[in-house]
Amino acid sequence: MPENPAAPRGTQDILPPESEDWNELEGRIHALARRFGYGEIRTPAFESTELFVRGVGETTDIVEKEMYTFKDKGGRSLTLRPEWTAAVVRAALEHHLLTQGPLRLYYIGPIFRYERPQRGRYRQSHQFGVECFGYAGPEADLEVISMAWELVRGYEVSDAALNINSIGDETCRPRYRDALLAHFRPYLSTLSEDSRRRLERNPLRLLDSKDPADRPYIESAPTFESMLCDACKEHFETLKSYLELAKIPYVVNPRIVRGLDYYGRTVFEITSSLLGAQSALCGGGRYDGLVRELGGPDVPAVGFALGMERFLMILRALGDRAQPRRGLQAIALGTQARVALAPLIAELRRKLDVPTYADYEERKLLAHLKIADRNRARYALILGSQELAAGELLLRDLETRSDRRLPFDSARVLIDTLVEAGI
């Protein structure tokens, strides 16, 4: 027997009924984005490799180790989108969207990163993200943080924590970089291999290291907040006061530096203890230099992305994700009943918002009811020879196990009954 092909490592099939959770979450995201005045953007799943190298940054983990890069048959180097932001900026520039004033976009879709798969970390995962272009002030930071927070709060994720930090701008970053170099250099030989490699190229990334070897030196490192220039300090302080006014609880976490190069000033992450080691549910920040870096005008921007798999993991951990029973299972016992029921099934599927499940095999009632359970149907609509002779249908509520009889020839009565019962 040939072996069954398996999905590639680090990827997942999303199957019913779990796909219902995805649909529900996506529905809420679309509604949220609409309320905040964001329009949906969809970009290709692959882009030129160059875009991500320039956009995300050569010394980042993503570009150094994680991109799915391939040559197409025409010899072009292409990369499966490892994140959306650079692709969204590319599209906004290509379609001249940034010449028309501020722009608010959101997206839902897959990203691809060659990472070591584990709980909450996949090679294909999905993000919901937003990008707000054209505002340099902290009001836009507040706006995007509020969106992420509303989504999380809407699901009553009580242990979610908003961590914010500022990583300065081109005025104060060189100063902080020097301070970090001076701090870490004496410990060079005891730092982890990754950190040793990173120190000269990108010392901020050391603060992000999870390696226990680096921990004591990270804990004693100077914080960026203490070294911000006046303009960055003012931006950060105003954002904090806005968050307080908006009653969004936060902690200033000096270790949040983010793994992508385009950030400046505000960075933030929403974490949840329910996620375990991969605790970041959502990450984002300000990236005022990226549009120019990719050949566009000087347009400030801020955004975030939220990991959908991780969000659904949290919702599942919070429990009560059992699908409520919905719809009805049409059950015909015998050929005659099957023929009689067919037009009614068609009518129910046209008129009801909930599913009408049907099974066309000859089975015992018990077997039919098992199928109804598997479908999580709320009602069974049963037509057997007895009912047929009496011109009736049996409507069984599978939750309360109560039966009622309805006239067979009146689909209207049936539909009204079901609507009335709130199914």
Contacts to ligand HAM by CB under 6 A: 83-85, 113, 115, 120-122, 125, 127, 129, 131, 260, 280-285, 287, 303-305, 307, 309-310
- Whichever of 261 and 309 has its CB closer to ligand HAM, that residue is 309
The C-alpha angle 201, 207, 210, rounded to 5 degrees, equals: 110
Residue 63 is given by DSSP the state I
- Whichever of 121 and 326 has its CB closer to ligand HAM, that residue is 121
Least distance in angstroms from the C-beta of 273 to ligand HAM: 14
- Whichever of 128 and 357 has its CB closer to ligand HAM, that residue is 128
The C-alpha angle 208, 272, 223, rounded to 5 degrees, equals: 30
- Whichever of 152 and 328 has its CB closer to ligand HAM, that residue is 152
Query: Is 149:248 a contact under the CB 8 Å cutoff?
Result: yes
- Whichever of 303 and 327 has its CB closer to ligand HAM, that residue is 303
Query: Is 24:58 a contact under the CB 8 Å cutoff?
Result: no
Query: Is 269:208 a contact under the CB 8 Å cutoff?
Result: no
Counted residue by residue, the chain has a size of: 423
Range 46-80 burial, b when 16+ CB lie within 10 A, else e? bbebebbbbbbbeebbbbeebbbbeeeeeeeebbb
Least distance in angstroms from the C-beta of 63 to ligand HAM: 12
Least distance in angstroms from the C-beta of 127 to ligand HAM: 5
- Whichever of 217 and 304 has its CB closer to ligand HAM, that residue is 304
C-alpha–C-alpha distance, residues 32 and 331, integer Å = 40
- Whichever of 116 and 350 has its CB closer to ligand HAM, that residue is 116
| DSSP per residue, 265-301 | SEEEEEE-GGGTTS-EEEEEEE-TTHHHHTT-----E
Least distance in angstroms from the C-beta of 212 to ligand HAM: 22
Least distance in angstroms from the C-beta of 373 to ligand HAM: 33
Specify which residues 332 forms β-bridges with. Answer: 383
Least distance in angstroms from the C-beta of 360 to ligand HAM: 41
Least distance in angstroms from the C-beta of 284 to ligand HAM: 4
C-alpha–C-alpha distance, residues 181 and 377, integer Å = 63
| DSSP per residue, 68-136 | -EEE-TT--EEEE-S-SHHHHHHHHHHTTGGGGS-EEEEEEEEEE-----BTTB-SEEEEEEEEEES--
Least distance in angstroms from the C-beta of 281 to ligand HAM: 5
- Burial class of residue 201 in the structure, from the number of CB atoms within 10 Å of its CB (0-12 exposed, 13-18 middle, 19+ buried): exposed
The type of residue at 126 is H
Residue 275 is given by DSSP the state G
Least distance in angstroms from the C-beta of 160 to ligand HAM: 12
- Whichever of 280 and 328 has its CB closer to ligand HAM, that residue is 280
Least distance in angstroms from the C-beta of 53 to ligand HAM: 15
Q: Taking CB positions, which residue lies at the least distance from ligand HAM?
A: 307
Token pair, residue 83, equals 């994140």
Q: How far is CA 372 from CA 323, 387, 393, 401, 418, in A?
A: 14, 19, 17, 13, 16
Specify which residues 80 forms β-bridges with. Answer: 46
Residue with tokens 């011109």: 391
Least distance in angstroms from the C-beta of 150 to ligand HAM: 17
- Whichever of 154 and 407 has its CB closer to ligand HAM, that residue is 154
> Hey, how many other C-beta atoms are within 10 angstroms of the C-beta on 243?
21
- Whichever of 121 and 196 has its CB closer to ligand HAM, that residue is 121
- Whichever of 92 and 280 has its CB closer to ligand HAM, that residue is 280
